[in-house]
Amino acid sequence: MTMSNTEIKMRERINEKIEKAGATSKKTAVTITEAELDAQEQYWLPYLLGGFNCNIQKTSDNKYYYKDYAQNKKLA
């Protein structure tokens, strides 16, 4: 199954905003408001969480963080 261009763009936008908010672990996870996700990004978030190779994780208290932040920084 391939990802659409829209899905790829939304994944990138959400990843960037969560990373920018400093949510790089469960300990530093942020809410949707703290990550400043717009309505369109909020709509896509549940869909992307269930997707293949998703780096965004949700905590039990409805906060989000960028799961593989440290690993991806090493690869860059």
Residue percentage of the chain with pLDDT more than 90:
59
> pLDDT (tens digit, 9 = 90+) per residue, 38-57?
999 999 998 888 666 678 99
Q: Widest CA span of the chain, in angstroms? A: 33
Residue 31 to residue 53: CA distance in whole angstroms: 21
Query: Are 30 and 22 in contact, with CB atoms under 8 Å apart?
Result: yes
> pLDDT (tens digit, 9 = 90+) per residue, 13-25?
999 999 999 999 9
The residue segments making up the domain with residue 58 are 5-75
Q: Count structural domains, the chain.
A: 1
pLDDT > 80? residue 75: no
Q: Which of 9, 11, 15 is nearest to 69 (CA)?
A: 15
